[in-house]
Amino acid sequence: MDSEHLALYPFVSEASAKVENLNLSLERLLHFPAYRIARKRGVERVRQALEGEIKNPSLAGDSQILSELLSYPFAKMLVIAIEDQLFTRRYALAEAKAAYARLKTENLDFILEFGEEFGLSAELQDSHFRLHFTDYIRFSSTLKEPAWKLTNRQLQAGRVWISKEEFVRLLLEAIRERVEHSFLEAPASSDLPPEIQEFCAPYVAELKEKFEVRKKQFGITDFGAVAPELFPPCIAHALASVQAGINLAHSMRFAMTSFLLTIGMSTDEILTLFNVSPDFDAEKTLYQIEHIAGSSGTSYKPPACETMRTYGNCIGKDGLCERIKHPLAYYQKKLYFRNKDKEKNNEKEVSEMKEKMKKGRVRKKGAEEKKIKG
């Protein structure tokens, strides 16, 4: 693979080997002016991942190619220092999506060779890829669309026929998995060298703050009475998965969407939640949301807990779950408890204020009596 491709796909083993062969000290990478552009691009890389899209760099000359290559390990330092599993998964997905967009423009021979790097050994025949069914199952298992089911595929002599676009889509999953797993093998934030922790600290503080805002974004827009912190465990888990770019099973997508619609979220607000999905199709997703909302004349309500259990969507039960039979009942009960707590707090504040006023009047009366006697 040439230097430019190594810079564009810095997570391949050859790129890692090239960085190691540079024998670049930590001191030089963090502080030398020659690597300022690499550091700047590394920060930019993480910021863009937070927004959902790592943009294509400008690679005009060997200097920019090297800076792009080195920006990846620097970006990984920042992600490790942030120490947030959801952020890590979001970053891995963003890197995979950026590579996916580039791979779609590569020629078939390059893509075939690239697949070998990730254990996707395929054969080319009539501009189609023939992939062993075990490799196909491994990387398509997270894709929930019916078209990806093995039973809906042409299978011949143990090999599955797929298009270039589909092969590249499987590579997206392979890249996401590799990048995400690379963080599991990396040291914890507290184990990073002190100079890295010190250098990254300002960027980490900024990125953490932005990420917290983004995680709560759907809860602070004009959603009326919607209170995300009161969602039942199944819906909270589904929402966290969607925000991390994980595809939900159709039954869970329906359950989450119908739940959010019922408690007052708009179709546009729900559409925004899904726009980080690897297979996000705005038109198709909006159609599905509007259908559940009742565009066809029938509005759908979220399934009961028993149905959620039947489809394997009952996740993370807590004590309240044991006493209710429907996700909406859970939410309503939580709202009731919260409102009661607010009432108690209001009563307490009123009581305390009355007590202060009473003491103030007593002190004032005492002062006046003292003045008269004097």
Residues 37 and 113 occupy one common structural domain: no
Quick check: is 75 in a domain? Answer: yes
Contact at 8 Å (CB) between 130 and 161? yes
Over residues 300-320, the pLDDT tens digits come to 889 999 999 999 999 888 889
Give the mean pLDDT of 139-159: 83
Residues 117 and 152 occupy one common structural domain: yes
Residues 152 and 241 occupy one common structural domain: no
How many CA atoms lie less than 13 Å away from 33 in the CB half-sphere? 0
Q: How confident is the model at residue 27 (pLDDT cuts 50, 70, 90)?
A: confident
Give the DSSP H/E element, type plus range, for residue 372. helix 327-373
pLDDT of residue 40: 94
Over residues 103-142, the pLDDT tens digits come to 999 999 999 999 999 989 899 988 889 998 888 888 887 7
Which residues, listed in sequence order, are joined to residue 128 by a DSSP beta bridge?
125
Residue 267 token pair: 């179709």
Residues 250 and 349 occupy one common structural domain: yes
Residues 2 and 53 occupy one common structural domain: yes
pLDDT tops 50 at residue 224:
no
Residue 276 CA to residue 87 CA, distance in Å, equals 13
Quick check: is 211 in a domain? Answer: yes
Write the burial class of residue 186 (CB in 10 Å: 0-12 exposed, 13-18 middle, 19+ buried): middle
Which residues, listed in sequence order, are joined to residue 131 by a DSSP beta bridge?
122, 160
The one-letter amino acid at 167: F
State the DSSP code for 54: P
Residues 231 and 312 occupy one common structural domain: yes
Residue 24 CA to residue 21 CA, distance in Å, equals 8
Residues 175 and 313 occupy one common structural domain: no
pLDDT of residue 99: 95
What is the pTM assigned to this prediction? 0.62
Q: How confident is the model at residue 184 (pLDDT cuts 50, 70, 90)?
A: confident
**Angle between helical axes of 250-262 and 267-274 (0-180°, round to 10):** 140
Quick check: is 100 in a domain? Answer: no
Quick check: is 299 in a domain? Answer: yes
pLDDT of residue 349: 59
Q: How confident is the model at residue 221 (pLDDT cuts 50, 70, 90)?
A: very low
Residues 197 and 55 occupy one common structural domain: yes
CA distances from 288 to 20, 259, 281 (A): 48, 14, 11
Higher pLDDT, residue 183 or 52: 183
Residues 343 and 226 occupy one common structural domain: yes
Residue 19 CA to residue 39 CA, distance in Å, equals 15
Residue 72, classed as helix, strand or coil, is helix
Residues 166 and 238 occupy one common structural domain: no
Contact at 8 Å (CB) between 150 and 133? yes
pLDDT tops 50 at residue 219:
no
Quick check: is 102 in a domain? Answer: no
Q: How confident is the model at residue 370 (pLDDT cuts 50, 70, 90)?
A: low
pLDDT tops 80 at residue 232:
yes
Residues 149 and 111 occupy one common structural domain: yes
Percent of the chain scored above 70 by pLDDT?
87
Q: How confident is the model at residue 341 (pLDDT cuts 50, 70, 90)?
A: confident
Question: What's the total number of domains in the chain?
Answer: 3
Higher pLDDT, residue 136 or 226: 136
Contact at 8 Å (CB) between 324 and 305? yes
The one-letter amino acid at 358: K
Quick check: is 253 in a domain? Answer: yes
Q: How confident is the model at residue 361 (pLDDT cuts 50, 70, 90)?
A: low
Residues 199 and 141 occupy one common structural domain: no
pLDDT of residue 303: 93
Quick check: is 96 in a domain? Answer: no
DSSP helix, strand, coil percent of the chain (3-state; round to 5): 70, 5, 25
pLDDT tops 70 at residue 325:
yes
Query: Which residues neighbour 101 within 8 Å (Cβ) at sequence distance 6 or greater?
Result: 56
pLDDT tops 60 at residue 231:
yes
Q: For residue 164, which of 212, 218, 114, 213 has the smallest C-alpha distance?
A: 114
**Hey, what's the torsion of the CAs at 358, 360, 362, 366, to 10 degrees?**
-170
pLDDT of residue 353: 60
Residue 84 CA to residue 61 CA, distance in Å, equals 35
How many of the other CB atoms lie within 10 Å of CB of 114?
A: 22
Over residues 250-299, the pLDDT tens digits come to 999 999 999 998 887 878 888 888 887 667 788 888 999 999 988 887 87
**Residue range(s) defining the domain that contains residue 47:** 1-83+188-215
